[in-house]
Structure 1
Amino acid sequence: MSTETNTGNEKVSCLIIGSGPAGYTAAIYAARANMKPLLYQGIQPGGQLTITTEVENYPGYPEGIQGPEMMLDFEKQAARMGTDIRYGLATKVDFSGHPLKVQIDEEKWIEADSVIISTGASAKWLGIPSEQKLNGHGVSACAVCDGFFFKGKDVAIVGAGDTAAEEALYLSKLCNNVHMIVRRHEMRASKVMQDRVLKTSNIIIHWNAETDEVLGDKKVEGVRLLNNQTGEKCEIEVSAFFVAIGHQPNSDIFKGVLDMDEAGYIKTIPGTSKTNIAGVFASGDVQDKIYRQAVTAAGSGCMAALDAERYLGEAGLH
């Protein structure tokens, strides 16, 4: 339940920003602890899972489940526990004093005793139309999530960093051949990761190569590569196309306010969800660049709610 302050702003005990597995799990725990959370869903209600088709690796769904359906289950559970769920985007913050202030949709300010940030991260894409058209139909930004569906098939992966190398190695254990598309004549990955990739017989590296087009009408059937030195094009038959050129944490509005790493991921005190500002907690992919799984995001959302409850209790606010 929220109240109105003498400034005309709405005042809540716990404000949650974002609505993926981390945000909704934080909401479930916060609501059960009688913190009366208010959750704003952000620009993509349900987060990255809403653009994922089949989810087979989340515990409790023995037959698997569609990503959007799973996020609706999360939302319903958070609502049933008493979370006030609203559509809106956090556009600005003022964490200079208490209560903490967050602006929604560039107009309304919410004052909160605690804030849980669960804004997630967005996969970086190449920006070609066929990539978006076939997203969820063989195009994926998560080999660990979707590689299993292409067991014994030929697949392609684009990227040259540690993540791309790790995902190529993961795919090599499941798939027949893994075509790795590298834009330059060398990889950016660490030496040890490069050595592993080069020693794996079914990873075929295409150097100086760029993706000209992902081929297929209803599903991925191949990829057309452009050699950026010779200008020659070639086509490879593949059943899946994985993009591993990095993720962008959705943390822009916290820049200069919260401690972040060089990539923009919010830093938390190890083993907790605490940021450098008292009462502000971060969970999910906005602070996790290593695991980036729905189940780890949900776990960190639970941590954030428990940390927030403890903080409110110690501060005499709950």
Structure 2
Amino acid sequence: MSSTRHTRVLIIGSGPAGYTAGVYASRAMLEPLLVQGIQPGGQLTITTEVENWPGETEIQGPDLMQNMEAHARAVGTEIVSDIITSVDLSKRPFVAQSDGGTTYTADALILATGAQARWLGLPTEEKFKGFGVSACATCDGFFYRGKEVVVIGGGNTAVEEALFLTKFATKVTLIHRRDELRAEKILQNRLFKNPKIEVLWDHTVEEVLGNDAPLSVTGVKAKHVKSGEETVVPCDGFFVAIGHAPASELVKDQLETHMGGYVVTAPDSTATSTPGVFAAGDLTDHKYRQAVTSAGMGCMAALEAEHFLAEQE
């Protein structure tokens, strides 16, 4: 049964940015309504140990997100388990349609729909996610001290991940399907000068190899794109660095975007190209992509929404 609900602040998304926006908007007495989306808790719900969240020496990703959700609820954020399927930003109040049949209207909108790593789509990649397969060296590199790892990709992300991993790993093998990298020259120079990094050119990864009990990665099977010859590269960790895709489908034709769909915000702000619409977290952040920076932007978005509504009144 369809219904219409109005809120002063509608938050779409439930990762660190969305939940933090809920906390701050609630404390500002804005009575926000947060729609969780298809993956409540966001990308952190598919990670294991988190060791870079301030105040927690180590916490499981799903536990951290449960804590953030509970905090947002405790201070007054109404959290709805639903999926927003379309938004209309052409008029105020803004209108959002949900999969559950509810139409939400809002005086201000905070977008915190996040981004997702692009994956290769291999069954074995899926099998070992969180058990040796990762898409975030900053998050998981620490676990590979004294071990060998493989990175796949050829752009800035892949080269930056490979360089970062040399802080921990004894050897980093970068696999690229072409015979030259797309990354910036200054990054390539650093990569080629690093004695810990070896590049395997003209190869694709066909399979992740590992153990079942317990789940752990032991290597990857790579195939030469021209000869078809297969090579097994031993490793303890496999990092997929072929880019991230921001979840901007809802607004890509209504807000200014760049760099493959990331929502553009004003300098030192979460304000988008439409007044009253704010974007926070990985949806707009193509550089840092950390839980703590997403949370900071969620705080900014809520405070900016509060100021925007005050000016309207």
TM-score of Structure 1 vs Structure 2, range by shorter chain: over 0.9
Tell me the CA shift for residue 10 of structure 1.
1.0
Match of 1:109 in 2: 103
Residue pairs, 1:51-66, within 5 angstroms: 51-62=46-57, 64-66=58-60
3-state DSSP class of the match of 1:219?
Answer: strand
Are 2:9 and 2:106, in contact at CA under 8 Å, matched by a contact in 1? yes
Letter of the structure 2 residue corresponding to residue 313 of structure 1: A
Match of 2:296 in 1: 299
Q: Which runs of 5+ in 2 are unaligned?
A: none
Q: Distance in 2 between matches of 1:89 and 1:38?
A: 13
Residue pairs, 1:160-309, within 5 angstroms: 160-217=154-211, 218-309=215-306
Tell me the CA shift for residue 294 of structure 1.
0.2
Letter of the structure 2 residue corresponding to residue 133 of structure 1: K
Tell me the CA shift for residue 262 of structure 1.
3.7
Q: Does 1:38 align with 2:43?
A: no
Letter of the structure 2 residue corresponding to residue 203 of structure 1: I
Cα distance per residue 1:181-202 (max 9 Å; x no partner):
1011111101111111111111
Match of 1:4 in 2: none
Cα pair distance change 1:258/1:287, threshold 3 Å: same
Letter of the structure 1 residue corresponding to residue 216 of structure 2: K
Match of 1:15 in 2: 10
3-state DSSP class of the match of 1:110?
Answer: strand
99-108 vs 48-57, which moves further: 99-108
Q: Distance in 1 between matches of 2:143 and 2:270?
A: 33
3-state DSSP class of the match of 1:254?
Answer: coil
Q: Distance in 2 between matches of 1:16 and 1:41?
A: 8
Letter of the structure 1 residue corresponding to residue 111 of structure 2: I
Cα pair distance change 1:221/1:110, threshold 3 Å: same
Are 1:92 and 1:106, in contact at CA under 8 Å, matched by a contact in 2? no
Cα pair distance change 1:219/1:16, threshold 3 Å: same
Tell me the TM-score normalised to structure 1 length: 0.96
Cα distance per residue 1:92-141 (max 9 Å; x no partner):
11111111111111732111001000000010000000001000001000
Q: Does 1:136 align with 2:135?
A: no
Q: RMSD of aligned C-alpha atoms?
A: 1.1
Are 1:91 and 1:106, in contact at CA under 8 Å, matched by a contact in 2? no
Q: Distance in 1 between matches of 2:40 and 2:167?
A: 34
Q: Distance in 2 between matches of 1:282 and 1:206?
A: 39
Cα distance per residue 1:41-62 (max 9 Å; x no partner):
0010000000010000010102
Letter of the structure 2 residue corresponding to residue 164 of structure 1: A
Match of 2:44 in 1: 49
Identity between Structure 1 and Structure 2 (%): 50
Aligned length: 309
3-state DSSP class of the match of 1:194?
Answer: helix
Tell me the CA shift for residue 241 of structure 1.
0.2
Structure 1 moving runs of 4+ over 2 Å: none
Letter of the structure 1 residue corresponding to residue 309 of structure 2: L
Tell me the CA shift for residue 9 of structure 1.
2.2
Are 1:154 and 1:176, in contact at CA under 8 Å, matched by a contact in 2? yes
Q: Distance in 1 between matches of 2:3 and 2:67?
A: 34
Tell me the TM-score normalised to structure 2 length: 0.97
Tell me the CA shift for residue 229 of structure 1.
1.3
